[in-house]
Structure 1
Amino acid sequence: MQQHIQRSKAPILSKNQIDQLGSRLRTEDYSEDDLRTLDHFRRAYVALYEDTVNTIRQTLHLAPTGRPAKSTSAIRDKLCRSSMRLSQMQDIAGCRIVVEDHRLQDEVVTQLQALFPASTVVDRRKTPSHGYRAVHVIVWHQHQAVEIQIRTELQQAWAEYAEKLADTVDPALKYGGGPQGPRDILKALSKVGGFVEQIELEGAGQHQQFAAALAEVASRLADLHKE
């Protein structure tokens, strides 16, 4: 299928200029001009985001939610806590699709790949990122990208809980930091979610593992309550 994305404009900066801007923003030597340039750069993603979301809604009849562009402060924070170049950042614009289960998740990923041939897939179900599990389809248009997160209801529940825990305990929990107790709980809950989805796919046969994972979560919740 031919992509409907036509309105998005190429960045006014070259790839090298974008990365130089990102390098300056990692330090304390960035200027107000750098922030204005970053703001202009991130706003250039809005048209691509809108076209991507509208294409999904009209063709697949799904209802993605999200944001046209990361804030300048969020972009700078990500640059400071990672080694990626600004031109490599794939989630400046992003949306999310939540589906019922693992099977539907696979179906939607396949549909998105057919809808956006110039896309790449990042599967974080078998190798979670600090407990975070989902599938990301990255839609590319020239030097711009829109990240589509496809989550099951279980994965979405975990992400919402992790966000609340980060807000109330330590923001570093979102990136694998923070106190050990809450980190262990998030990983255990993620493990339980994985078992549930595997049982959905394969049926019976993993109930003992599932019961053990639930016991692990209950134990860590009790420890956190004491702390």
Structure 2
Amino acid sequence: MPMSNSAVQKLGKRLELPEAVSEDDLTLLEDLLVDYSELLTSARGDIDELCDIVEWPLGVTHRLKTTDTLIQKLQRAKARGSSTNLARIQDIAGIRVSGRLTLTEQDRLADLVVERFERQGHKCSIKDRREDPMVGYRALHVIISLSGRYVEVQIRTVGQDLWANVFERMADIFGRGIRYGEPPEYGGKAVTDIIASMEKFSATLYGLEMDVAASVISGREREASLARLDSVLVALREILQDIEDVKGRSVT
């Protein structure tokens, strides 16, 4: 029988404490993730079907947070003085949809996801990270409530996806906390300046994406408008490759 939300919340309270996690609680967390995995597989099937019928070419991936990642998330929140309810975490199970979309098409795709799952009786909400970015991260998230658990569908343009991948690699090197506005674990001011530059890059990209969306609405050809983003996308791919090279050298 699946754990109740109150039991999940109590488990989270125990996991957020800095002392060693007990074997019993680790087993409970693993069982909880099995429940999420089943919901994620079901939701992924619906998203795949939806992406097959729309006119835009889209890539779809999914992932489930690991026990280590979840424990770190809970303990990091506790250390910041903002305890997190494990039962209310919305991104334990995630699906990512990305493609060569305009912002208007991104909105439309989010609406289609909501329509599909609400027809099945599930509650959905949309979190717009484009106007309210998290340390430069921009995307459109659809949060689906399934059997008292959440599956998060991240919908990204190509530019948003590339930017996020670059910043994710930076977090691998300089500390996962930079994704939440925490200072880097390594590199000091030099890395802080890079993070600020990435935030500015994100704002510039978003401005271009808004211009492209307005151009398409006004009647200009879609592909010609989207091509205006190509030089920015090339720059992001080059940055990502540079970071991968740095990671590769640090490993070897």
Work out the number of aligned pairs and report it. 196
Contact 1:99 1:105 in 2 (8 A): no
> Secondary structure of 2:97's match?
strand
Q: Does 1:94 align with 2:84?
A: no
Could you list the per-position Cα deviations for residues 89-121 of structure 1 after superposition, in whole angstroms to 9, with x for gaps in the alignment?
A: 111111100021312211110110110112111
Structure 2 match to 1:109: 110
Question: What is the rounded CA distance, in whole Å, between the counterparts of 2:163 and 2:50 in structure 1?
Answer: 29
The structural deviation recorded for 1:60 is 3.6
Deviates more, 1:124-133 or 1:45-54: 45-54
Structure 2 match to 1:21: 11
Question: What is the rounded CA distance, in whole Å, between the counterparts of 1:21 and 1:152 in structure 2?
Answer: 36
> Secondary structure of 2:2's match?
coil
Higher share in helix: 2
Question: What is the rounded CA distance, in whole Å, between the counterparts of 1:161 and 1:110 in structure 2?
Answer: 28
Instruction: Specify whether residues 20 and 55 from structure 1 end up closer, same or farther in structure 2 by C-alpha distance, changes over 3 A only.
Output: same
Question: What is the rounded CA distance, in whole Å, between the counterparts of 1:80 and 1:182 in structure 2?
Answer: 27
Question: What is the rounded CA distance, in whole Å, between the counterparts of 1:163 and 1:107 in structure 2?
Answer: 27
Question: What is the rounded CA distance, in whole Å, between the counterparts of 1:94 and 1:182 in structure 2?
Answer: 28
Q: Does 1:71 align with 2:61?
A: no
Q: Does 1:192 align with 2:193?
A: no
> Secondary structure of 2:90's match?
coil
Could you list the per-position Cα deviations for residues 71-97 of structure 1 after superposition, in whole angstroms to 9, with x for gaps in the alignment?
A: 101111111122220001111111100
> Secondary structure of 1:133's match?
coil
**Identity across the alignment (%):** 31
The structural deviation recorded for 1:16 is 1.4
Contact 2:94 2:152 in 1 (8 A): yes
Question: What is the rounded CA distance, in whole Å, between the counterparts of 2:202 and 2:74 in structure 1?
Answer: 26
Instruction: Specify whether residues 63 and 171 from structure 1 end up closer, same or farther in structure 2 by C-alpha distance, changes over 3 A only.
Output: closer
Contact 2:44 2:62 in 1 (8 A): no
Q: Does 1:46 align with 2:37?
A: yes
Root-mean-square deviation (Å): 2.2
> What amino acid maps onto 1:132 in structure 2?
Y
Question: What is the rounded CA distance, in whole Å, between the counterparts of 1:141 and 1:189 in structure 2?
Answer: 36
Contact 1:18 1:86 in 2 (8 A): yes
Instruction: Specify whether residues 63 and 37 from structure 1 end up closer, same or farther in structure 2 by C-alpha distance, changes over 3 A only.
Output: same
Question: What is the rounded CA distance, in whole Å, between the counterparts of 1:56 and 1:172 in structure 2?
Answer: 30
> What amino acid maps onto 1:104 in structure 2?
E
1:136 to 127, 137, 141: 141
Contact 1:125 1:135 in 2 (8 A): yes
Runs of at least 5 residues in structure 1 that lack an aligned partner in the other structure: 1-10, 204-213, 215-220, 222-227
> What amino acid maps onto 2:103 in structure 1?
H
Question: What is the rounded CA distance, in whole Å, between the counterparts of 2:153 and 2:46 in structure 1?
Answer: 12
> Secondary structure of 1:146's match?
strand
Runs of at least 5 residues in structure 2 that lack an aligned partner in the other structure: 53-57, 78-82, 185-190, 216-231, 233-238, 240-252
Contact 1:57 1:63 in 2 (8 A): no
Structure 1 match to 2:228: none
Contact 2:29 2:67 in 1 (8 A): yes
Q: TM-score scaled to structure 2, two decimals?
A: 0.72
